Structure 1
Amino acid sequence: MATTRILVVDDEEDLCEILKFNLETEGYEVDTAFSAEEALKMDLSVYQLLLLDVMMGEISGFKLASILRKNESTANIPIIFLTAKDTENDMLTGFNLGADDYISKPFSIRQVTARVKAVLRRTANKEQTKESDLLVYETLVMDTKRIKATVDGVEVALTKKEFEILKLLLENKGNVFSREEILSRIWKDEVYVLDRTIDVNITRLRKKIGIYGKNIVTRLGFGYCFEF
């Protein structure tokens, strides 16, 4: 299992070293930067969590967070602010910038490690949810949350019915569905839908998903399935 990497950004070097030592004791891999400027020279996309001091030189922790949230490679990295600024407005500013937690100084190391574990646990749960929204077969990917299908990273324009048929087949790879089953699941109570409608949609779907069209096979006399 990969080690979780954390970056601590704070202009108090002693505090950075204390946090580094204690978080490494918990099993994390920890780096430090003593200013936002120094942090921005690093490849921040490799970290799973950032601990940012708010009150630093020319670029504050809030400003740094704002920069990171606008960059695709760092936009989703969880951030915990460590700061002496604990007014309600400061906290709201932090959370509006997408902070995952806000710890006021002075704090205990036990408090920090507990908050770090909690944020990482929440992030892991989010990632699992995101992954559950994806149906993947090699480079064919369906994002069922965003209603989007791609082949080799290129979006495929599917109609609603084509998307639902592909979703049904990918969710049940290897299972054969008769035309009647597909009609009842995809078209439900819609009237005047012929078996031939299924065939037409399957034909179009095969063409649109390119090399994976061959995976949608016909079982003569039975129906269709996605072979893998």
Structure 2
Amino acid sequence: MELLLVEDDLRVSELVKRGLEEQGYLVTLAYDGLMGKKLMTSNRYDLIITDIVLPRMNGIELCKEIRMIWPEIPVIMLTALGTTDDKIDGFDAGADDYLVKPFDFRELHARIKALLNRSLSTSHAPVAKVLKYADLEMNLQTNVVSRMGMEISLTPKEFKLLEYMLRNKERILTRAEIADKVWDTHFDTGTNFIDVYMNYLRKKIDKNFDHKLIHTKTGMGFIFKES
């Protein structure tokens, strides 16, 4: 597996590179965002790790560039910024996971393995091209979501959350299950984090429509069904 690490802290980048190479990965280093963009544009990596605070181009912008070219490649963000808003910014840019500095290398390695395994399994799984329920439609090829013919703009994580709910419609989904399946089993999103994203999605999917599709089950979780 070949990984790209974008990190401007020389000590951190060398330590992470050495640790990953000891685990059998091929690691390419970039010390600023533009160098990272140039490398990922001309090479296909199995996974990309990037800091957020970078010279020349920050990690949020880099992640958006990655998603435009390689939408399927897993991205892990490393950063000292650990607030809920910071995490939401990272996930909205298209990151798959988020690790706050300082971190234990073993945790980073566990998350890398989980994302690579997930990437390999989903790449071979047959997937329906269009998901439909009630008056809502999700096209997985064009990433277009519409309700009653009106297109709805979603961030990458909102899209992934809605897709999971559509695939598990009319079934109560706990916060723990959503954190596990939509994010990563090693990532502790916390109850509030799940609720924040669910509120974002509800405003876009339900607010302007008479029939609500996303419902909260007090003390249990959420369910996607016609009211």
- TM-score of the superposition, structure 1-length normalised? 0.54
**3-state SS, counterpart of residue 72 of structure 2:** coil
- Render the CA deviation track for 1:80-103: whole Å, top value 9, x for unaligned: 000000000010111112211100
Amino acid at match of 1:59: M
Return structure 1 stretches of 4+ with deviation > 6 angstroms.
none
Question: Matched residue pairs, number?
Answer: 129
Identity percentage of aligned residues: 33
Deviation, 1:126, is: 1.0
Give the equivalent residue in structure 1 for 2:96.
100
Alignment of 1:45-194 (within 5 A): 45-71=43-69, 74-129=70-125, 132-133=126-127, 145-146=128-129
Alignment-mate amino acid for residue 79 of structure 2: T
In the aligned structure 2, how far is the partner of 1:53 from the partner of 1:94? 10
**Secondary structure, aligned partner of 1:70:** helix
3-state DSSP class of the match of 2:53?
A: coil
TM-superposition CA deviations, 1:77-132 (whole Å, max 9, x none)? 11000000000001011111221110000001111111111111111111121xx3
Could you tell me which amino acid in structure 2 is paired with residue 32 of structure 1? L
Distance 1:43 1:77 in 2: 10
Whole-angstrom distance in 2 between the partners of 1:120 and 1:15: 22
Question: What is the alpha-carbon root mean square deviation over aligned residues?
Answer: 1.5
Q: Which position in structure 2 is the counterpart of 1:18?
A: 15
Q: Which residue of 2 aligns with 1:215?
A: none
Cα deviations across residues 58-93 of structure 1 (Å, max 9, x unaligned)? 31100100112122xx22211000000000001011
- 1:39-50 equivalences under 5 Å are 39-44=36-41, 45-50=43-48
Q: Which amino acid aligns with 1:18?
A: L
Shift of 1:13: 1.4
In structure 1, list runs of 5 or more residues that go unmatched: 134-144, 148-228
**Could you list the per-position Cα deviations for residues 168-194 of structure 1 after superposition, in whole angstroms to 9, with x for gaps in the alignment?**
xxxxxxxxxxxxxxxxxxxxxxxxxxx
Verify the 8 A CA contact 2:4 2:49 in the aligned structure 1: yes
Instruction: In structure 2, give the amino acid aligned to 1:109.
Output: F
Partner of residue 8, structure 1: 5
Residue identity matched to 1:12: D
Larger Rg: 1
- 5+ long unaligned stretches in structure 2: 131-227
Q: Give the whole-Å Cα distance in 2 for the aligned partners of 1:43 and 1:50.
A: 9
Q: Give, in angstroms, the shift of residue 43 of structure 1.
A: 4.3
- The Cα of 1:146 is off from its aligned counterpart by 2.8
